[in-house]
Amino acid sequence: MKKTVYITGADRGLGLALSKVFLESNFKVFAGRYMTDWAELDQLKEEYDQDLDIITLDVTNQQSVDEAANYIKEQAGELDILINNAAIFKDRSEDIFGEFNYEDMIKLYETNVFGPLRVSQSVIPLLIKGKTKMLANISSEAASLTDSWRVKEYGYSMSKSALNMQLTILQNQLKEYGIKVLAFHPGYVKTYIMGDFNHDATIEAGESATGIVKEILKLPAIEEHMYIDYQGNKINW
């Protein structure tokens, strides 16, 4: 049986690129789809057929998360790799001298913090049964307290820092089960996370995805530093 990977937010951008790289690496891919109006996943399905299962997934909805986990359990019975990739970015221009949109900040936490926690919890039993036992998460350098430089973007940065704390706790708890937890800074990737396509970014999604998959497949030991970029460089907490 092929190794399995579950990728959230696989509709476009980095999630789609990760799906492509894993398919090219002979994995069975469970791709979480939130938006139905993007055709790229369907095109991949035509090319890879049985190796790609597209799953409707809203990481802010517990029922949706549970249904996706149950589907993977029925189809595979176990899971080798989870990549929590789904995330949003809403507050690029807000700073302390302006007006904060706290409703948007709450949405950031619902998706970027509680979303990964919901998904991770839903498939932990499957990861324990898997061979690779990898719980990877797309974080950001924006999460770093040591290297904090921003004067804006409060909500996004705080949500990613909260995600990183979540991941350290998960690693503390899951190490006895042999599960490795990783937090990736993907680089400044050309994606749609800000709504429109970010042409100012410096890294193609495919390049970032290739690097992330390479680092995951190195199967780093549980004791190794968790917080790295897509090239494997350590990032300060």
The domain segmentation of the chain, as residue ranges, is: 4-229
| Burial class, 38, CB count within 10 angstroms (exposed 0-12 / middle 13-18 / buried 19+) | middle
pLDDT value of residue 90: 81
The predicted model scores a pTM of: 0.95
The values of phi and psi at residue 97, to 5°, are -95, -5
| Helix, strand, coil percentages in the chain from 3-state DSSP, rounded to 5 | 45, 15, 40
DSSP SS3 for 30: strand
The values of phi and psi at residue 114, to 5°, are -75, -30
Q: Is the pLDDT of residue 19 over 90?
A: yes
Q: Cα(198)–Cα(144) distance, rounded to whole angstroms? A: 22
Question: Strand runs (DSSP E) across 8-99, as ranges?
Answer: 28-33, 52-56, 81-84
Contact status, residue 197 vs residue 212, Cβ threshold 8 Å: no
pLDDT value of residue 197: 63
Mean pLDDT estimate for the chain: 93
Q: Is the pLDDT of residue 91 over 70?
A: no
Tokens 């990728």 correspond to what residue?
7
Q: Cα(83)–Cα(9) distance, rounded to whole angstroms? A: 9
Sheet holding 4-7, edge to edge: 52-56, 28-33, 4-7, 81-84, 134-138, 180-185, 227-229
pLDDT value of residue 52: 98
Query: Is pLDDT larger for residue 51 or for residue 194?
Result: 51
pLDDT tens for each residue of 130-175: 999 999 999 999 999 999 999 888 999 999 999 999 999 999 999 9
Q: Is the pLDDT of residue 214 over 80?
A: yes
Contact status, residue 188 vs residue 202, Cβ threshold 8 Å: yes
DSSP SS3 for 227: strand
The values of phi and psi at residue 35, to 5°, are -105, 130
Is CATH 3.90.1300.10 the classification given to domain 4-229?
A: no
Contact status, residue 139 vs residue 185, Cβ threshold 8 Å: yes
For the residues 74-83, what does the mean pLDDT come to? 98
The values of phi and psi at residue 7, to 5°, are -120, 125
